[in-house]
Structure 1
Amino acid sequence: MNAVEIEQAITDLAEQPFDPAEFPYAFLEAFGNKATTLKRLRAGASNKSDLGGVLQTSNIHILTCDTGQVTQTLAALKTSPATAKAKAKFILATDGADFEAEDLTSGETVACAFKDFPDHFGFFLPLAGISTVRQISENAFDIRATSRLNRLYVELLKDNPEWGTAERRHDMNKLMARLIFCFFAEDTDIFIGKGRFTDTIAQMSERDASNTHEVIATLFRAMNTGHEARAAAGIPRWAAEFPYVNGALFSGSDEVPRFSRIARSYLLHVGGLEWTKINPDIFGSMIQAIAEDEERGELGMHYTSVPNILKVLNPLFLDDLRAKLEEAGDNPRTLLNLRKRIARIRVFDPACGSGNFLVIAYKEMRAIEAEINKRRGETDRASDIPVTNFRGIELRDFPAEIARLALVITEYQCDVLHRGQRLALAEFLPLRNENWITCGNALRLDWLSICPPTGTGVKVKADDLFGSPLDQAEIDFENEGGETYICGNPPYLGSKWQSAAQKADLGALFDGRVKNWKSLDYVAGWFLKAADYGTHTSSSAAFVATNSICQGQQVPTLWPEIFGTGNTIVFAHTSFKWANLASHNAGVTVVIVGISTMPGLTRRLYSIRDGSHESVECKHVDNINAYLVAALNIEVQPAARPQNGLTPMQFGNHPYYGAALIFSNDEARSIVAGSPEAARFVRPFYGSKEFIDAAPRACLWIADQEAEAALAIPVIARRVEDVARARRAATKDASARKLADTPWRFREQTMGKRHALIVPRVSSENRPYLPIGLLEPHCVVQEKAFALYDAPLWNLALIASRLHWVWIGTVCVRMRTDFSYSNTLGWNTFPVPTLTEKNKADLTRCAEDILLAREHHFPATIADLYSPDNMPADLRAAHDRNDEVLERIYIGRRFKNDTERLEKLFDLYTKMTASATPAKGKKRKAGGKA
């Protein structure tokens, strides 16, 4: 379940007659507990309560009580031994009239009337596995409003299906935008008299809803007609008292779909909410899902938190504005210059959705301007920051409409906050007619025409040019605008998931300009468009993107072209989870990358410290490369052999049309049971999945000198003949036809004499370490894994380290978000210092300790042992010791974080490749700042 669905469920629960016995189970069901879970609780199998309530382990202890006993009951729940033993995070007590709860982790409490507890649903979202930000808990209104509007939208489409067609979708979306504005306006005195819009509909429409659409249409027509023209337009007196709004919001058709009694009821219910609480930066991103059939099932999952948005906007330009404000102090001239500068800044989001980034940017800039006005003694001054400077492109019309509406509402709220409601109301209506949010395909539109570049100059107004230029200089904006900052969260979409149209969008940008562009994520198009924009004017851009654009093959494909435009990476936020409001949602792993053509900017690299999103480290660095490492702009190129002196890593053995050589363990047992002499030719067979799941298959392994003996066994002969036929049938594959002469062989026929180290080619990024294992010499490694044959055991220690995990995750290709290991790109390039014999002995001991810790938990698989939440303590400790030993070899101490690990690895890689001879026919790309 997501947050909107949960809010609706507990609202329904609060409206039902209170049943003390059933309430705890209904409450848990509202937060997504399955029927089987509730059945076990009812039966007592998993109910750990010692007070006669319902106690769900690691979750909540609920107890209903007699009237007037809620506070005492909550206290009993808190001191209950069972609450502590079950590690409950919440306690809840209610008598059906009052309601009290406590978060035992934070100490926060809720105390309210029972009917009002849905207002606090955000408090309980962790019960549904939703780890969300404080803004959601504190702004529950936005989710409640979204839920109600969605119910209204769906109900209207039931009786007006034609309004859901492509031809009428725009009209339906326009209706919703108009209603949102009216609900907001009636609760904020924009329409004189609180609730006036809703009350008028209630009074003028019939209870059977037969004329509700006509009443609403009349109100819309009134708001689109100037007061002097209303009599001639036939606007009735009851509608003529509404203000003239204009602003294109009510222009065009005033047709409204017919309302059923239920739809009318929903409308009045929505209007009855407290719309002064609307939060445009949250609400807009959620409401856009209402208008999208394919997204309505994920309602509430579009929220982008303000802290995440500020991870983009702060380093892009807001931090600089605040620093300039701090420097200005109370100097009136310097403050004036800063205010003029702010008024000319354009913020441009070419994938704006419902306007989250633009709304937050506007709010933050208004706050800075308000402080300037306060210091200059001009608190009543109207804002110089026009909302038309906050420009966007959005593919779909409804989010584009909501983005514009969100900015209009935000402007009013900022005026109320910084100037007072009287002045805010005096200047709010009529709305502007300008359209500054463009509806269209951002990768096909000309950004320069939508947000044209303009120059700035500085004119010194002083007789003495050597006087105090800081005090005297005024920014002279000879053109309309000033600085432009491009930002946003464009669609990611890896190459395999792009539609034909999206692939064509990228082709229009990259084809003929960049080789191998078809492997790029869709978001790469926004980076290239922003980079090209920067060649025409000094600008900076920052986007949220999947971390894959800064890893593997996308680095040498995309970033040389970006750097070639004169842009550099001026700030970046290394990988972190970008979560939404869905329950148990892990979120996508993203990066934030800021590029600019502006000279002299300080380069800043942000990274999560200790895995906490609340703890972010910022380092000032000389350069940030395309891997988001403080190192030279170098591209890691595949190497045919190890550049580090390590044991060569090979692909496993490829059957090459030899499927008949491979079979299940059951088939193996059947073969041996029927022909015992075949046993010496049957071997365990491991690929990536087989090793990780500890479930090897079996194969025939026949050396050339043993082929005659093997083929004398009928069951083997039949399988070998099947291989011969398959290889001969591959008429277009000369290699296969040649191998048909030795059909008992795999294409490669390699095996260790003492052992083999197996390295899966694909593994989950969620594991804290890369999987690697030690196999007996008789085991066969297939081509879906790599092998190090008879390699010293300390090689295992290298691959099982956090250092190697970080290197592979950065330089190798990704398969979705999983690691796709490469021997040429990952192992052969892995920078390793010169190891002494003692170093090797220490690492060998570490490798042995890891293997022994795994053995201690037999028969647990690699998948079991390396589950991030369930890794055994002794195995984790063995890996920690391994990391300790290895990292001390590199720098004499443990690395602070992955960012520091990568910096060292890239430094070593640069030195390693600088001393090596480039491979013939290959150009090694390296250098300083791009």
Structure 2
Amino acid sequence: MTPQDFIRKWKTHALTERASAQEHFIDLCRLVGHPTPAEDDPQGDHFTFEKGASIVGGGDGWADVWKKGYFAWEYKKRRRNLDEAMTQLTRYAAALEHPPLLVVCDTIRFQILTTWTNLETKKYSFELEDLTDPEKLKILHAVFHDPEALKPTRTRAMITADAAKKFQTISDALQSRNPDREAVAHFVNQLVFCFFADSVKLLPEGLLKKLLQTAEKRPHKSREYLQKLFDQMKDGGEFDLTEIAWFNGGLFDGRAPLALEHVEIGLLFALTSLDWSLIDPTIFGTLFERFLDPDKRAQIGAHYTDPDKIMMIVEPVVLRPLRARWRDAFGRIGEIMRPAGEAGAAGRKGQKDQDRKIAAARARAEGLRDEFIDGLTRLRILDPACGSGNFLYLALQGVKDIEYCAINDCETLGLGRPVTRVGPEILLGIEINPFAAELARTTIWIGDIQWSIKNAIYSRPTPILRKLDSIEQRDAVLNADGSEAQWPETDFIIGNPPFLGGKKLRAGLGHDYVERLFAAYDGRVPAEADLVCYWFSKAWEAVGAARAKAVGLVATNSIRGGANRRVLEPIAQANAIFEAWSDEPWTIDGAAVRVSLVCFGATEEERRLDGQPSAAINADLSGRSSDVTLAQRLKENEGVAFMGDTKGGAFDIPGELAREWLRAPLNPNGRPNSEVLRPWVNGLDVTRRPRDMWIIDFGWEMSEDEAAMYEAPFAYVLEHVKPERDKNRRDAYRKYWWRHVEARPAMWAAIKALAATSPAPDQKASLRPRATSEPGSNPGVEGGPSSASPPRKDATSGARYIATPRVARYRSFLWMHGSCVPDSRCFALARNDEAFFGILQSGFHEHWSMATGSWHGVGDDPVYNTSTCFETFPFPAGLTPNIPATDYADDPRAKRIAAAAKKLDELRRNWLNPPDLVEIVPEVVPGYPDRILPRDEKAADLLKKRTLTNLYNERPQWLQNAHAELDRAVAAAYGWPEDISTEDALAKLLELNLERSARQ
């Protein structure tokens, strides 16, 4: 059929709506070259006439035509109001699986509305005769064949960002003139809502634009004009001979607006051109909070957390159980209405009796439906760190969707359509930031109105804005008097509490606040825990006291380990974690981080971990059958592993400066600088290439006068360390400013004790290749040992110990020369035997450390620590750390492990520093490890890529073979099968740990 044929046929027809609709549509199919519904889908599953309600006693469907994933189409009698028809179709969009296009038609006029989520809406309108226009025909063709061609390109996020940014200049100007930032925030929120109300026609059309035009001419009267408008919005009334609805709700509360200047009024007038009805509250609140709060200004322009991420909490905690509850209720309603439907189909016989049965069934069914909806209106959903309200906004949208689904479902059974009743009253929030608390209310108000408009059921309530005193502006964990803050009783707790690491609490919150926090939660939250743990603890207590049914909170993924994990342990032991995402990307204040999402409570829901069913969810958010978080510290492992030195100031210096001081003459006390200079090693020196950094170390007992005798090092510390240490809040750190803040004397005592049993010096360089010549055999190299420089005299110089980075993608252990100072980002293990080294480097200890440790940063790298990773690890019987290596030197198990460990170590060292690329150069003073230098520039470039991280990224076959050989030796030492699986090995290690800890 050609466009001309179609126009000719339908231009003058006089058929009724019902008589014309299906034939008209079939002709449209012929026109655009598409099969008819019966041809394309004889079963009516995805393309059909009369899609929707199967009304008891008969009735029309929700859409005259429906094509799944394409459109819903409604016909109306010629020249009837198509906007009303679109409203009706919009009302049923959810029941029609949210088609991207809604089409209304009266055979001679067409309206097409796009409805993609998170995109602006676009409307196409044309008439019958327009089909001769190829562009109009192309639009109609796209409806049937390619809806994506009609998809708008401008997202709600773009519109929202544009709207928020245009307000920045105005808010900045207001804040520059008004010291009361809260008053500015309140006024700007009033303006924002006025723009939204103008776009959705809650204010008389054109009123806001007219007010701003007038104010632009008389800036000195702008405050007066806005005051009159706000007064009428507060109570309802008249403004400029037009009726103003009653808004109130707390936003229009009688507070006077602020004065505006001419430029600001002009900017506001320009903002009236934007479609504020499309702003996305989940983005707007976050953006606007930053504009209003100068402390967060650096975060502007950041990426925003996807609402889909928030729904990973809201869906399982709030919506999933409510949907299940509705499925059960709807099943009972269906059973009630089935006999009524059968009676309605039985014909005219006994009609009065049948009518009575139908009426009785309908009354019972509507009672069950209303009971369910009553339950939704009584819900209480708490976000105890609600920010600008994103979690609460999405939760409200979801609950309203469920209510609407219940109404639509019941209509299919012939029940009436009650008005929707779920509103912002179901939301509770606590937020310490006054800007955010104000914005949360605005976010929720706008979102509530947007939802009703989207579903074409909005009718202006009285007042338009419901009171939201339930969004409280206060501290969620601590009262001003130091007592624990209380949360209201609720059904569900959701949210994204503040992320502040345990070590940053005092810097971020202040010493006094932290002391009161510790006192209020003593014994319930570890003092070393992150701030977010206080929210987890309180939420779990609320569940235990039946003051909440389920909880869903976001935390950095460090919640899985260390002190943080202790707040999850009682929850996991109660089998209360029903959904968790252990490691997800997230955006916090513009920074990309890794988070864990944890849902727990009194529920019988199937457990799901990282999107998959899981028999259990442990405190480390793993699904292992053996919960290694139950492991206890073992006394046999004590006194071996130590956190490295915490310097507490700029004591570190480059190697060339250290060598200059090492070559210097003896000091006035007759002592060399070598006594206070040591090579310094941090995690990067281990995982990448050594940086040749040294550290000034006056020990933990040297007096200031004694330290001053080492002239150059002391002068350096006086200049670079003392000014900062003078500002330190700890008296001892200020008083002993020339010493490291935590010099770890116990660590050095343990390393010193190893000196007598450490191997020969040529094995001491951790990254040094197997020697091809004697150390020091290249005396012609500049910087060789000086006969005038006395050797370093320190018992640790003859020792070696094992080091591992605190945070690293791969768990590697290396031999370290006894003179090297490990930084606090490393752990030192005071043992020097190859068997011990091999057990540590085995896959069993690596997997144990990952299971018992924590995780760090965007890269989600494993974190090693003494208490949970090392001191809980059960070594093979007879090879435990409390046994001297000499006692098991002849044990065949130890010999096998030592041989495999030594082989692995040598292979790694030769790969890291191939003998043909490096030179071994003695240090300028004996008693330190030899230097490993590239032979030339080409060698230097090649060596940059030779790092442990790159080696384990590549994982060549020789490395895999060496590790497999070591793992077989260690498995045999335990008496296990040499091909034991990781899961079985962890289970056996946990069993060993619990057995030994029980005997302690």
- What CA distance in whole angstroms lies between the structure 2 residues aligned with 1:916 and 1:440? 48
- Which residue number in structure 2 is paired with residue 436 of structure 1? 470
Shift of 1:563: 7.5
**Among 589, 593, 600, which residue is 1:595 paired with?**
600
TM-aligned CA distance change 1:918 to 1:720, over 3 Å: farther
Q: Deviations over 1:44-81 (max 9, x none)?
A: xxxxxxxxxxxxxxxxxxxxxxxxxxxxxxxxxxxxxx
- Give the secondary-structure state (helix, strand or coil) at the position aligned to 1:496: helix
Report if the CA contact (8 A) 1:842-1:885 is conserved: yes
Given the alignment of the two structures, is residue 244 of structure 1 paired with residue 272 of structure 2, yes or no? no
Quick check: 855-864 or 544-553, which moved more? Answer: 855-864
Partner of 2:49: none
Deviations 1:5-61 (A, max 9, x none): xxxxxxxxxxxxxxxxxxxxxxxxxxxxxxxxxxxxxxxxxxxxxxxxxxxxxxxxx
1:845 Cα deviation after fit: 5.9
Residue deviations 1:835-883 (CA, integer Å, cap 9, x gap): 8998987777665554444336965799965698x77964577767777
Partner of 1:396: 433
Please state if 1:807 is matched with 2:849: yes
Residue 209 of structure 2 aligns with an amino acid whose one-letter code is T
Q: CA deviation at 1:452?
A: 3.2
Please report how far the alpha carbon of residue 669 of structure 1 lies from its aligned counterpart in structure 2 after TM superposition: 6.6
> What SS does structure 1 have at the residue aligned with 2:250?
coil
The count of corresponding residues between Structure 1 and Structure 2 is: 677
The answer as to 2:420 corresponding to 1:426 is: no
* Cα pair distance change 1:576/1:666, threshold 3 Å: same
Check the 8 A contact 2:633/2:997 in 1, yes or no: no
> 2:274 maps to which residue?
273
Q: Distance in 1 between matches of 2:301 and 2:245?
A: 33
2:631, 2:990 within 8 Å by CA — same for their partners in 1? no
Q: Contact 2:429 / 2:471 at 8 angstroms: preserved in 1?
A: yes
CA distance in 1 between partners of 2:487 and 2:676 (Å)? 69
User: Where does the alignment leave 5 or more consecutive residues of structure 1 unmatched?
Assistant: 1-107, 109-133, 231-235, 454-483, 607-616, 702-716, 723-728, 893-899, 921-930
Q: 1:524 aligns with which of 519, 524, 533?
A: 533
1:768 aligns with 2:809: yes
Q: Which runs of 5+ in 2 are unaligned?
A: 1-118, 120-151, 335-364, 698-708, 715-734, 767-800, 878-892, 918-938, 973-979
Distance in 1 between residues matched to 2:466 and 2:664, nearest whole Å:
86
C-alpha distance in 1 between matches for 2:323 and 2:501: 37
Q: Is the 8 A contact 1:315 1:571 kept in 2?
A: yes
2:576 corresponds, among 564, 568, 580, to 568
Report how far residue 262 of structure 1 moved.
1.6
* TM-score w.r.t. length of structure 2: 0.57
- 1:142 is aligned to 2:160: yes
Equivalent residue, structure 2, for 1:753: 759
- Aligned counterparts of 1:188 and 1:700: Cα–Cα separation in 2: 68
Correspondence for 2:144: none
Query: Aligned match of 1:555 in 559, 565, 583?
Result: 565
How far apart are the structure 2 equivalents of 1:146 and 1:839? 64
| Residues 1:887 and 1:275: Cα distance change in structure 2 (over 3 Å) | farther
Q: Is the 8 A contact 2:643 2:866 kept in 1?
A: no
**TM-score, normalised on structure 1?**
0.61
Output the CA distance in 2 between the equivalents of 1:424 and 1:774: 72
Corresponding position of 1:488: 495
Aligned equivalent of 1:916? 996
| 1:506/1:522 contact within 8 Å kept | no
Q: Deviations over 1:496-526 (max 9, x none)?
A: 3225568636745754740783222212221
Contact 1:312–1:487 (8 Å) recurs in 2? yes
Partner of 1:41: none
> Per-residue deviation at 1:178?
0.9
Structure 2 partner of 1:42: none
- Partner AA of 2:579 in structure 1: F
Q: 2:226·2:257 contact (CA, 8 Å) conserved in 1?
A: yes
SS of the aligned residue for 2:690 comes to coil
- 2 CA distance for matches of 1:406 and 1:192? 22
How much has 1:674 moved relative to structure 2? 7.3
Task: Let me know the Cα RMSD of the aligned residues.
Answer: 5.2
Shift in CA distance, 811/872, structure 1 to aligned 2, threshold 3 Å: closer
> Residue by residue, what CA displacement relative to the aligned partner does 1:463-485 show, whole Å, maximum 9, x if unpaired?
xxxxxxxxxxxxxxxxxxxxx00
Aligned residue number for residue 185 of structure 1 = 197
Question: Are 1:570 and 1:624, in contact at CA under 8 Å, matched by a contact in 2?
Answer: no
Q: In structure 2, what is the Cα distance between the partners aligned to 1:397 and 1:348?
A: 18
Partner of 1:294: 295
Given candidates 691, 696, 710, the residue that maps to 1:695 is 691
Q: Following superposition of structure 1 onto structure 2, how do residues 236-385 of structure 1 map, counting pairs within 5 Å?
A: 237-238=240-241, 240-253=242-255, 255-301=256-302, 303-325=304-326, 331-332=333-334, 333=365, 338-377=372-411, 380-385=417-422
Partner of 1:223: 233
Shift of 1:318: 1.9
- CA contact 1:289–1:300 (8 Å) conserved in 2: no
**2:186 equivalent in structure 1:** 174
Secondary structure of the corresponding residue to residue 262 of structure 1? helix
User: Does the 8 Å CA contact 2:377/2:423 hold for their aligned counterparts?
Assistant: yes
Instruction: Return the alpha-carbon distance in structure 1 between the equivalents of residues 291 and 981 of structure 2.
Output: 45
**Alpha-carbon distance, 1:278 to partner:** 0.9
Counterpart of 1:457 in structure 2 is: none
Structure 1 residues 221 and 568: CA distance shift in structure 2, 3 A: same
Question: 1:415 is matched with which residue?
Answer: 452
Percentage identity across paired residues of the two chains:
19
Match of 1:199 among 181, 193, 210: 210
SS state at 1:621 partner: coil
- Is this contact kept in 2: 1:352–1:488, CA < 8 A? yes
- Does structure 1 conserve the Cα–Cα contact (< 8 Å) formed by 2:385 and 2:495? yes
2:912 maps to 1:854: yes
CA–CA separation in structure 2 for the residues paired with 1:798 and 1:212: 74
CA contact (8 A) 1:652 1:781 kept: no
Instruction: Provide the C-alpha distance between the structure 1 equivalents of 2:653 and 2:524, rounded to a whole number of angstroms.
Output: 39
Shift of 1:198: 2.6
Give the distance between the partners of 2:390 and 2:959, measured in 1 at CA. Answer: 43
Q: Distance in 1 between matches of 2:664 and 2:956?
A: 42
Kept in 2: contact 1:490–1:526 (CA 8 A): yes
Decide whether aligned partners of structure 1 residues 820 and 862 sit closer, same or farther in structure 2, where only a CA change above 3 A counts. Answer: farther
Q: Which amino acid aligns with 1:638?
A: R
1:548-601 deviation digits (Å, cap 9, x = unpaired): 333113334x4567679x78333322133322574xx4x2332122232x2544
The correspondence of residues 776-787 of structure 1 with structure 2, limited to 5 A, is: 780=820, 785=826, 786-787=828-829
Q: Distance in 2 between matches of 1:410 and 1:532?
A: 31
Q: Distance in 1 between matches of 2:437 and 2:693?
A: 55
